[in-house]
Amino acid sequence: MKNEKIGVVVIGRNEGSRLILCLESILKVKVPCVYIDSQSTDGSINEAKKRNVINFILDKSAPVNAARARNAGFKSLIENYSAIEYVHFIDADCELNPEWLKNAVQALDDANNRAVVCGRLHEKEKGKNIYTRLCNIDWYVPPGDIKSCGGIATIKRHVFEEMQGFDESLIAGADPELYFRVRQAGYDLYCLPVDMGTHDSNMQHFSQYWNRSVKTGYGYAHNKYQWGGWDRQYKSAMVWGGAIPFVILLGILSGYFYTVLALMVYPLQIIRIFLQPFKMNLKNKDKLIYAGFCVLGKFSEFRGIIRYYWVSFLKKEQSIIEYKK
């Protein structure tokens, strides 16, 4: 018999076999589930149909993005299961830990003011390459009271309705924007010291990492001007990815070739990040990889910021920025 106190919203686009694993992990715990497809071309919707999971494809009336898909999934879930009190959002490239929903419900029941909970998300193949190692580090959130978490989390239904869901204009960063409003309304967010599930980024090439960082930078700019979020990250990308290279180039073009020495600030920044205390235990190799890509990522983030300004100048709608094959 299904537990209809909590339900799951799955969103995805061209996730193929990863979607199958995701749906199977949810069906094992026997809770209501809906799948929202963002116009996949790989037949993903058929996999949901085969498993009798409520599903539909977002139409083309507006650009597809995670915020729009999650809002649609929430609406569909509540329409089909009116007794739902809690909703867990998960992406189709993730697999649910069978114990998570029980832990999430208990944690939300135990604290009236607690609106959102998340847990430890692990990269499924974290040792496959440097990109999956980076993802595994990125997913880490220290247990305890938090200000924000990713889109994979469990939220109380009445809070989500009170907030009127995610901001669908944000193609990146809709999660922290929602959680900002949740905290502004006086609610708490909490990270449990238990596993929530696994994530499969399927990143194998530098171009994928680059595009993912471009999307992040776009989100920095959009969120900064939408609600004032990510200001520190925005400024960091602007300085390290834009201002410093511009000053160096300007100096060289002006005949001051010694300005190329300013490039030394980048390895020094890598060393500084490497020597900082990390929130999770990491081997020195992983710390060095993380520090190096923190600096390298500023260039792609800056490109994402410039894309935001360019799209805004042209008054166009930015479609989803994808990094997966």
The span from the CA of 124 to the CA of 159, in Å, is 31
Considering the domain boundaries, does residue 320 fall inside one? Answer: no
User: Is 284 found in the same domain as 151?
Assistant: no
User: Is 63 found in the same domain as 186?
Assistant: yes
Domain residues for the domain of 92 are 6-199
User: Is 74 found in the same domain as 99?
Assistant: yes
Place of tokens 């979607």: 19
pTM across the whole model? 0.92
| Contacts of 32 by beta carbon, 8 Å cutoff, 6+ apart | 2, 4, 6, 7, 8, 77, 80, 81, 84
User: Is 217 found in the same domain as 98?
Assistant: no
Nearest in space to 126 (alpha carbons), one of 17, 270, 285: 285
Considering the domain boundaries, does residue 115 fall inside one? Answer: yes
For 122-150, the pLDDT digits (tens) are 999 998 899 999 999 999 999 999 999 98
Considering the domain boundaries, does residue 322 fall inside one? Answer: no
User: Is 218 found in the same domain as 147?
Assistant: no
| Domain closes at, from 149, 175, 199 | 199
Considering the domain boundaries, does residue 291 fall inside one? Answer: yes
User: Is 216 found in the same domain as 178?
Assistant: no
SS3 letters across 177-220:
HHHHHHHHCCCEEEEEEEEEEEECCCCCCHHHHHHHHHHHHHHH
Domain with residue 66: its CATH number is 3.90.550.10
Considering the domain boundaries, does residue 319 fall inside one? Answer: no
Considering the domain boundaries, does residue 108 fall inside one? Answer: yes
Nearest in space to 191 (alpha carbons), one of 156, 224, 143: 143
User: Is 257 found in the same domain as 182?
Assistant: no
For 140-187, the pLDDT digits (tens) are 999 999 999 989 999 999 999 999 999 998 988 899 999 999 999 999
Nearest in space to 71 (alpha carbons), one of 164, 181, 171, 177: 164
| Domain closes at, from 152, 176, 199 | 199
Percent helix / strand / coil, the chain, rounded to 5: 50, 15, 30
Considering the domain boundaries, does residue 144 fall inside one? Answer: yes
User: Is 168 found in the same domain as 284?
Assistant: no
Look at the alpha carbons of 23, 150, 133, 284 in this order and tell me if their dihedral is positive or negative.
Answer: negative
User: Is 109 found in the same domain as 38?
Assistant: yes
pLDDT at res. 291: 96
Q: How do beta strands 86-91 and 6-12 pair? A: parallel
| Domain closes at, from 178, 199, 220 | 199
Burial pattern 44-70, b for ≥16 Cβ within 10 A else e, equals: bbebbeeeebbbeebeeeeebbbbbbb
User: Is 101 found in the same domain as 49?
Assistant: yes
Considering the domain boundaries, does residue 91 fall inside one? Answer: yes
pLDDT at res. 207: 94
Residue type at 206 in one-letter notation: F
- Both structure tokens of 232: 């520190």
The span from the CA of 234 to the CA of 217, in Å, is 7
User: Is 220 found in the same domain as 194?
Assistant: no
For 76-122, the pLDDT digits (tens) are 999 999 999 999 999 999 999 999 999 999 999 999 899 999 999 99
The span from the CA of 243 to the CA of 266, in Å, is 13
Top-confidence range, 38-47, 81-90, 224-233, 271-280: 81-90
User: Is 292 found in the same domain as 275?
Assistant: yes
Q: Please provide the size of the chain in residues.
A: 325
| Contacts of 180 by beta carbon, 8 Å cutoff, 6+ apart | 148, 227, 229
Q: What's the domain count of the chain?
A: 2
Whether the per-residue pLDDT at 3 is higher than 70: the answer is no
Whether the per-residue pLDDT at 1 is higher than 60: the answer is no
Nearest in space to 156 (alpha carbons), one of 90, 111, 92: 111
